[in-house]
Chain A
Amino acid sequence: MYLYDDRDRCLLRERVRQFRDQTTRYLDGDLSEDQFRPLRLQNGLYIQRLAPMLRVSIPYGLIAARQLRRLAHIARTYDKGYAHFTTRQNIQFNWPQLPEVPDILVELAEVDMHAIQTSGNCIRNITSDEFAGIAPDEVEDPRPWCELVRRWSTFHPEFAYLPRKFKIAVSGSASDRAAIQVHDIGLQLVKNAEGALGFQVYVGGGLGRTPVIGEVIGEFIEPRHLLTYLEAILRVYNRYGRRDNKYKARIKILVKAWGAEVFAARVAAEWEHLRDGPNTLTEADFAQVRQFFTAPAYEAVDLAVAEALVSACAAAERAFARWLERNVRAHRVPGYCAVVLSLKPVGVAPGDVTDAQLDAIADLADRYAFGEARVTHHQNLVLADVRRDDLPELWRALKAQGFATPTIGTLSDIICCPGGDFCSLANAKSIPIAEAIQREFDDLDYLYDLGDLTLNISGCMNACGHHHVGNIGILGVDKKGEEFYQIQIGGEAGSRATLGQVLGPSFYAPEVPGIIARILDVYVQRRHDGETFIETFRRLGVEPFKDSVYAKAA
């Protein structure tokens, strides 16, 4: 992974000093509430329902063991002993005290971490594929490009006061695991007919109040032009994006208003001026950054021995076999695999971990995965480079720590925002809904029979739980002070990104698990052999599901 040099560290020290000074001036009354707001937000600090919330950046989800240990220490020292992984591969602390935040930043900077641009109307953390660099279907490793975009966007002087927040995701595989089509900019690495590398550029995707799938405005942008092309998009948005209404301020609204063709033409015209300018990337830039994303020192694994060991354990322990099926993923290097650590055990808010668990993950990463872990946008973690003959031992260790829930990719692997329990924006609670669903569908055989199925929950229309792109999406709504839940189905993230369709009138919380059961019944009864939920939905359309959910009791 990327390692900081003296320049990076100097910049972080200057940032800590700057934020300490800003916090002091705010507490002394020299900065107004309004002025301090964008400053603290661009440092990931929200004022929440119960206490401030500090969001710490994990660039494109990569984190080292020593950084995990420091996060554990911060959770213990400044928080109530836990932290929360987000859908944008970041981590949040829910209880820090404002005057202590500069001290937390010092602690973070010591391990090359920060909270820069994790909120506010600026370019946010660059997100990517948790299987970057190891996925068998990868065209090109997205991480070096993420790192180049990260640097370019960090403290970009022109784009710190955009009309609204701005999210960029990069995918290097044909099957998009970074949900790039629902980002403000989605970058898809592609190869042209001559085998040369380039970027297909999506723009104007996003969820929230107005969910939109992004449109391609650049079919093939050469790597050296990546940053100048991004700069052209951002400049057009900064100048012409709406600033009169925060709900109409995202780039997607501008792209819709102009149409993708006009928007693309405006970007192309701007780019004519910026192209080949000082932010043009060079071979030296590529080489400098690629050296940090080389393969770790893989060992030769005796494949026959490893498979015999894994098979024997699977035969002896049903739970291991289940875990192997759902939580272990393919790796491009023979003898290795990627292991997904589930942060979705029943009864725990999705994405939550304790300080002790963070320490444990660090130890496991050191022992089994070259000291590195990755955060997924599904709010789980991945150990990306695990020897297959270590799997039985690792599984036991994960089980002891509560990370071996064998439900990755199933209905129970719910993406869920913090909701009304924590968030001041939420209309309704979301965590208790996730728990109720997990409890209702706790039979593993049934979950496995349902197969790959995504369920997403957002506590309000800001859609932090990405409910629009869940196969089943649940949205908390407020009606005259009462919490209700609207259900939609048919959404999908990934390369066939689709927005779900609302079923109809919303439900009380206690009704939700029963409604989900009715939806699943339609799928189970009407699926063809081998068809996933989303495939059945596409074939049948929404009507049979609607009929079942709203059928009067006979």
Chain B
Amino acid sequence: MPKLLKARDFAIDAWQRFDGDVARIAGGDALLFPLPVWLAQRDTLLAREASRTGIWLNGDEEPEQIAADIRRFGCVAVNFPAFMDGRGFSCGRLLRERYGFRGELRAVGDIFVDQLHFLRRCGFDAFELPDDASLDVALNCLDAFSIHYQAACDPA
């Protein structure tokens, strides 16, 4: 099981990725819907509460596609298919700065602790780490720099 780093600690993960079982759509689980599912079943899914409705965006999917519905989501997970694939950094900033997403912005997939500081500066506030991740190392990496030369999407 991956570990979820959130608010400077490992946290219980309230969200599950939607597994395709349509019976669960009407249920009370907090679900992350892959973008194609959301686009196909948008009318049905719009009835769900934001607090248990989220989106799972792959690295090659565009945040523009959920911009209009952004307030309907309690969580957006951005998947990094490979840790060298930096598209998710731009995706995070767009979701926060351009589309005004205020919910949990989660980095998932192939990320590692040495990317945490930059991820946070791009608007992410939750991070899925491998199950052997150490909290001390993760927090140390999260706080790598106290000085920044450029404006980004830093937490207030």
Contacts and interface: CB of A to CB of B under 8 A. Distances in A.
A227 B86 contact: no
B145 A155 contact: yes
A235 B150 contact: no
A410 interface: no
Given A18-B144, A39-B114, A227 B90 contact: no
A494 interface: no
B84 interface: yes
B10 interface: no
Nearest to A15: B145
A10 B149 CA distance: 12
Interface in B85-139: 85-87, 89-91, 93, 98, 112, 114-115, 117-119, 121-122, 137
A31 B149 contact: no
A157 B122 contact: yes
Nearest to A18: B144
Given A35-B112, A235-B90, A238-B90, A156 B144 contact: no
A156 B148 CA distance: 8
Nearest to B148: A155
A154 B90 CA distance: 17
A156 B146 contact: no
B90 A277 contact: no
A7 B144 contact: no
B15 to A, nearest CB: 24
A11 interface: yes
A298 interface: no
Contact of B90 (A8, A25, A31, A158): A158
A155 B86 contact: no
A157 B149 contact: no
A238 B122 contact: no
Contacts of A279: 150-151
Contacts of B145: 11, 14-15, 18, 155
Give the size category of B's interface with A: 20 to 34
A161 interface: yes
A25 B83 CA distance: 18
Contacts of A227: 150
Contact of B84 (A25, A158, A161): A161
A10 B137 contact: no
Interface in A405-445: none
A160 B86 contact: yes
A15 B114 CA distance: 12
Interface string B44-68: 0000000000000000000000000
Contacts of B87: 238-239, 243
A273 B98 contact: yes
Interface in A151-166: 151-152, 154-163
30 contacts: A10-B147, A11-B149, A14-B145, A18-B145, A30-B137, A38-B84, A121-B86, A151-B150, A152-B150, A155-B118, A156-B152, A157-B89, A157-B117, A157-B119, A157-B121, A157-B122, A157-B152, A158-B121, A158-B152, A160-B89, A161-B84, A161-B85, A161-B86, A227-B150, A235-B90, A238-B86, A238-B87, A238-B90, A243-B85, A277-B151
Interface of A: 7-8, 10-11, 14-15, 18, 21-22, 25, 30-31, 35, 38-39, 121, 151-152, 154-163, 227, 235, 238-239, 243, 273, 277-279
Interface of B: 83-87, 89-91, 93, 98, 112, 114-115, 117-119, 121-122, 137, 140, 144-152
